[in-house]
Amino acid sequence: MRVFSFFVVFLLFIFPTGAQVPNAGLEQWTLKPFNVPTDYWITSNYQFVPAYGVDNASRVAGSAGAHAIRLETVVQGDTLPAYVANTIGDIGVGEGGQPYSVMATGVKGSFRYNMAVGDSACLIVIFKKNTAVIATDVFKVGGSQATFKAFNFPLSLTTVPDTVILAMTSGNPGDFSAPEWKGMTPGSWIEWDELAFTGTGVTPIPDGGFERWTAKQHEYPTDWTDGDPEAWFRNMTGAVKRSTDAYKGSYAAQLNTLYDTINNYYVEIGTLTTGQVPVNTMPDVLTGYYKYSTPGNDTAMVRVMYYDADGMALNFSVVMYLQPVASYTKFELELDPSSHPPMAESMAVLVTSSAEFGIWGPIDPVPGSILMIDEIGFKNATHVDAPKLLPSVSVYPNPTSDVLHITCKHSPDNTLVLITDALGKTVYTGSMTNGHTTVPMRQFPAGNYFYRLMPGNMVLGGTFMKQ
């Protein structure tokens, strides 16, 4: 599943000390109302409301019509820049956009703003033809302007395009092809209005005046993070729901695997994640109750992930696959304290309505799969086993240009090996023999790749580069 690459911010909340899953019974739910522009535009609200409860792209009074859009960089644990764009694709590589086939010479509109020293808002305009980028313009706005002021920026377009990408930000992304923001400052804001192209025969930018808005609301279990921002971009807002069909108490969480009927291809997996739970004594079991149905060959998944004292993810997790059952059934995921990574200081729980890969290899998520989950919690260790040898991974050479060697000591034969590209597409599937495998890489394009190993019920992973 892809996200808006240079805008994406990954969330991990921190909870009080103790190996307890917060809101374990899923009884507390939070409702967050927010507004978004209708149809053509996508805003940071779709990303940050589910993840942080923050809507930093808002409707305000306009310069000519009734409304304009305000983008403001805010702090909610992390620094969150606001944005609005006409695509959910990766702008850094010119992905996505909307049809446009007129030779525009400029882009105009009005704005007012108050940018912190060293920070600047951006207007990004990218034109494409036959999927290739043919022109890119980035206009930066700094300083302060109390009232709406007209602007008219010249474009570098020299060939009639077939697609346009538009994006506006409240902060300076620097090199917007890179996954970082440089100099963005909380409190910087800008209001955009009356956006239009200039030139002979130009066609209007749909809702360039930001007049049409839609009221939405997001409900999620308190102290959990749910869903994938891209599902929200596509208005697929039913991946996680509150349900009265509970094992205990009033509510449970219903996780759904959905299909995008508009774009006719995208599958969204219902996902719930706790924040990092600090632990003094590592628990030996994660328990809970579930029931699961699927119209195809699918399986749900529960995973426990481990983090060091700095909150960095360790190359280790433990997973359990939940098979279809018609009524609530208890699951127990054995964590084995003697096998915990020695640097682990906290844990997090991930639950999904489809696993994407299973015991025997990759599987396709099946739309219509439904997971009901309730009463999730850790059980403290009550026994001490002899220390076990943890699987240890080495990947070489890195970077590689021809072959990649992966060694996983102390792993069983037939350990599953998956290689995915930067967009999450599985490009290689194999298995290990005697703790080793060789992956041919010559035919793959240059770039960053991810490996995932599954010795037993563990999941190990990391990254490497193909030159």
Rounded-to-integer distance, Cα 409 and Cα 393, Å: 7
Q: Are strands 370-380 and 300-307 parallel, antiparallel or unpaired?
A: unpaired
Burial of 421 from C-beta contacts in 10 A (0-12 / 13-18 / 19+): middle
Determine the 3-state secondary structure of 5 from DSSP.
helix
Lowest mean pLDDT among 41-55, 78-92, 221-235: 221-235
Rounded-to-integer distance, Cα 82 and Cα 137, Å: 19
What average pLDDT is seen over the chain? 82
Return the pLDDT at 233: 53
Using pLDDT thresholds of 50, 70 and 90, give the confidence band for residue 18: very low
The string of pLDDT tens digits covering residues 348-392 is: 899 999 886 544 444 678 889 999 999 998 876 554 444 444 456
Rounded-to-integer distance, Cα 187 and Cα 75, Å: 9
Return the pLDDT at 183: 60
Parts of the chain belonging to CATH 2.60.40.3080 = 392-466
**CATH C-level class of 392-466:** mainly beta
Length of the chain (residues): 467
Using pLDDT thresholds of 50, 70 and 90, give the confidence band for residue 456: low
Return the pLDDT at 148: 98
Return the pLDDT at 218: 83
The string of pLDDT tens digits covering residues 5-14 is: 333 322 222 2
Are 292 and 369 spatial neighbours (Cβ–Cβ below 8 Å)? yes
Query: When comparing pLDDT for 8 and 294, which is higher?
Result: 294
Q: Can the peptide bond before residue 455 be classed as cis, meaning omega within 30 degrees of 0? A: no
Given a cut of 80, is residue 171 above it in pLDDT?
Answer: yes
Return the pLDDT at 92: 78
Q: Quick one: what percent of the chain has pLDDT higher than 90?
A: 40
Return the pLDDT at 220: 85
The string of pLDDT tens digits covering residues 323-334 is: 899 999 999 887
Return the pLDDT at 387: 42
Give one DSSP letter per residue of 205-251, joined into a string.
Answer: PTTTT---EEEEEEEEETTEEES-HHHHHTT---SEEEES--SSSS-
Element (DSSP H or E) covering residue 154: strand 144-154
Are 115 and 146 spatial neighbours (Cβ–Cβ below 8 Å)? no
Query: When comparing pLDDT for 5 and 192, which is higher?
Result: 192
Return the pLDDT at 396: 82
Using pLDDT thresholds of 50, 70 and 90, give the confidence band for residue 298: confident
Q: Starting at the edge strand that comes first in sequence, how are the strands of the sheet with 189-198 ordered?
A: 57-61, 67-72, 189-198, 106-114, 144-154
Rounded-to-integer distance, Cα 65 and Cα 68, Å: 8
CATH 3.40.630.10 is the classification of domain 222-380: no
Using pLDDT thresholds of 50, 70 and 90, give the confidence band for residue 204: very high
Name the superfamily (CATH) of residues 31-198: BT2081, beta-jelly-roll domain (2.60.120.890)
Given a cut of 90, is residue 335 above it in pLDDT?
Answer: no
Both tokens of 226, joined, read 């749910």
Given a cut of 70, is residue 162 above it in pLDDT?
Answer: yes
Element (DSSP H or E) covering residue 291: strand 283-293
Query: When comparing pLDDT for 282 and 244, which is higher?
Result: 244
Both tokens of 141, joined, read 């706005």
Query: When comparing pLDDT for 171 and 260, which is higher?
Result: 171
Query: When comparing pLDDT for 91 and 159, which is higher?
Result: 159
Triad 291, 226, 167: Cα angle to 5°:
145
Rounded-to-integer distance, Cα 126 and Cα 137, Å: 6
Given a cut of 90, is residue 219 above it in pLDDT?
Answer: no
Average pLDDT over residues 168-178: 67
Parts of the chain belonging to CATH 2.60.120.890 = 31-198, 222-380
Q: Starting at the edge strand that comes first in sequence, how are the strands of the sheet with 240-243 ordered?
A: 240-243, 252-256, 370-380, 283-293, 325-334
Return the pLDDT at 237: 60
Cβ neighbors of 188 (< 8 A, separation 6 or more) are 72, 73, 114, 115, 116, 119, 121, 170, 171
The string of pLDDT tens digits covering residues 40-73 is: 998 998 888 877 888 999 999 999 899 999 999 9
Element (DSSP H or E) covering residue 47: helix 45-52
Return the pLDDT at 227: 63
Return the pLDDT at 282: 73
Of the candidates 197, 219, 215, 217, the one whose C-alpha atom is nearest the C-alpha of residue 206 is 197
Return the pLDDT at 364: 74
Average pLDDT over residues 403-409: 84
